[in-house]
Amino acid sequence: MNNSEGEAAIPVCEAPNSEPGRPRISAPPDAWDCHAHIFGPPEQYAFVPGRSYTPPEASIQNYQRMLGALGPGRAVIVQPSVYGTDNRCTYDAVAASGGRWRGVAVVDARTNMHELRRLHDAGFRGVRFNLLFKGGLAMEILEQVARLIAPLGWHVQLLLDGRDLVELAPRLRALPVPFVVDHMGHMPAKLAPAHPGFATLLALVREGNCWVKLSGPYRISARPYPYEDVAPIAKALVEASPEHMVWGSDWPHPSFQGAMPVDATLLDLLGEWVPEPLTRQRILTTNPAKLYDFAS
């Protein structure tokens, strides 16, 4: 894919591995992949200018193939920053699932209730604030958006640098909706265990209104797979509040510059972080069904 004139400085992402592999641990059909993105043909779904990256096409069919190899039958498609508030690609992916997938949108404070109801009926249950990549929402409207979505029972999802949680925690505690923190707080693994931001994240999950995605270990690790420096972070989060943990593949791993992970090995990591089968089952099934309002 070539960038158009004026976008030459925007990096083009590597495609995910064509072979997802086969995991060693078992994921039942009612298991969830709670973090994935779909990138459609650019001539159909335009990217926002000034974005942080240009993704490769990552189709519904290829994602379904990956899920089929790993086992989960349910998924959460998260609106990526490259589409801004144009949720069409994510909407079309969720709609194509026949009710098996959920969606997380990007909307702003001007979005009306009619549009929110349309998204809700399609399967959307949250709004994402992406503070790390261009195209995401600004934190200035966090409270406005939270009030807007509260009547629908939605949550706020946050991609942020966990080192900022000390400053942000009072605002997050005051929100009228639950909030979900992406990628275990997304701070360097070598810093997290002793950092006040990680201590704040542990406190937030214990308080009950905060959820965490056990996802993206390769984004915060300084080591190759199996990312040993991330294990203490994941284990501490699970110990703090196993009922507020969910797992995600982060497929197709956009804007990652290292060795592209093999998807099955990411699910296997959950087996290492959470060796107790019932707790792992809860993280894969019960917790996401509750968070994403999936009754059956």
Q: Tell me the average pLDDT across 99-112.
A: 95
Residue 52 burial (CB count, 10 A): 17
Which pLDDT tens digit goes with each residue over 120-178?
999 999 999 988 876 677 889 999 999 999 999 999 999 999 999 999 999 999 999 99
Mean of all residue pLDDT scores within the chain: 94
Out of 33, 250, 263, 268, pick the active-site residue: 250
A 10 A CB-CB count for 179 gives 22
Domains of the chain: 32-291 (3.20.20.140)
6-12 contacts, C-beta under 8 A, 24 or more apart = 6/49, 7/49, 7/54, 10/51, 10/52, 10/53, 10/54, 11/52, 11/53, 11/54, 11/255, 12/53, 12/54, 12/56
Q: Residue 245 in 3-state DSSP?
A: strand
pLDDT of the residue at 138: 80
- pLDDT confidence bin for 274, thresholds 50/70/90: very high
Alpha-carbon distance of 134 to 130, in angstroms, equals 8
Considering the entire predicted model, what is its pTM? 0.95
How far is Cα 83 from Cα 85, in angstroms, rounded to an integer?
6
Q: Is 250 designated active site? A: yes
DSSP string, 75-94: EEEEPPGGGTT--HHHHHHH
Which pLDDT belongs to residue 8? 62
What's the average model confidence in pLDDT over 60-81?
97
